[in-house]
Structure 1
Amino acid sequence: MMDIDEIKSFLPHQYPFLLLDRIVEVEKGVSIAGYKNVTINEPYFNGHFPGKPIMPGVLIIEAMAQVSGILGYVTAGRSAADGSIHLLAGSNKVRFKRPVRPGDQLRLESRLLSNKHGIWKFDCRGLVDGEVVCVAEIMSAERKP
């Protein structure tokens, strides 16, 4: 389990772009699960959408990429603190099943599919109350110092 301080030791992201609050499971080289607590205080809700706020899909994808990046770091025994970085390289098979709204706790799950020549591929999904809200295949490119 990782709290926000440990998450920040792995990722270079800062407010308002750090989209993880807690990691609850991690198995090196296999899978990871974490949470993003979605609150009305998120800055993007001012315009997305007034009167009917929903979390932008691209930010759900970014949250999946962040949790996947931590799995990549843990698997490789590195972190952003050593100068390495996982850059979002692509997303495939993205499907949104229902909106994510303020008050939801977004569970982010990622399973490592492959790592070849510094290109990592992950099978991801987001859930709210056990219901799938998004699925995607995320790719990241690891850059070492």
Structure 2
Amino acid sequence: MRFHLIDRIETISYGKYITAVKCVTLADDVFNEHFPGYPVFPGSLVLEGLAQLGGSFFELMMKNSDLPVKRSILSIINKFKFRKPAVPGDKLFYRADLVAMREEYGVVKVQAEIESEICAEGELTFTFLDIADNDLHESRMTLYKICTKNTKIVQ
């Protein structure tokens, strides 16, 4: 099973930040077991959504520059805190701010909000690896094309 935990990338400012949204619905498969009678969107999936956004940010920046596109692999989770649970009906607003980007790795400060209240935040480090699989590369570029269809690009 593959979880796509970003519904839409809202804005991107290359070299600065990226924002996205995830709508939590009772139709999400995770609610079959988590928890019957009291559905809570797992914090680990909020973290995964933020990691997907951070990794996408680095790959989109590489694609938008003269750099070869490498795969962003989450390698360090630092100072991460969960402050409020997400439940069906919530809209998670994700944001990743660039802290550093080097040839081998990148760091972003991330946060998730529900109705302007922070529900999770921390810092994520990604290692960049060469993509040796053309099918995987094409699949990811297709996914980015879908997620960024109406993305606002800001300076």
> TM-score, normalised to structure 2's length?
0.77
Greater Rg over alpha carbons, structure: 2
Equivalence for 1:4 = none
Secondary structure at the aligned position of 1:44 is classed as: helix
- Which of 12, 15, 23 pairs up with 1:29? 15
Residues 59, 69 of structure 2: 8 Å contact kept: no
Structure 2: distance between partners of 1:75 and 1:121: 13
Equivalence for 2:153 = none
Q: What whole-Å deviation, never above 9, does each CA across 1:59-100 have from its counterpart, x for those lacking one? A: 11110011111210122226xxx8732111121111111110
Equivalence for 2:110 = 124
Residues 29, 71 of structure 1: 8 Å contact kept: no
Equivalence for 2:49 = 63
Residues 121, 140 of structure 1: 8 Å contact kept: yes
| Superposition map of 1:1-145 within 5 A | 16-77=2-63, 84-145=70-131
How many angstroms does 1:116 deviate by?
2.7
Alignment: residue pair count: 128
Higher normalized contact order (CA 8 Å, seq sep 6+, divided by chain length): 2
Q: Which runs of 5+ in 1 are unaligned?
A: 1-14
Q: Which runs of 5+ in 2 are unaligned?
A: 132-155
Runs of 4 or more off by more than 2 Å in structure 1? none
Code of the aligned partner of 1:126? A
How many angstroms does 1:46 deviate by?
1.3
Q: Sequence identity of aligned pairs in percent?
A: 28
Structure 2: distance between partners of 1:17 and 1:83: 22
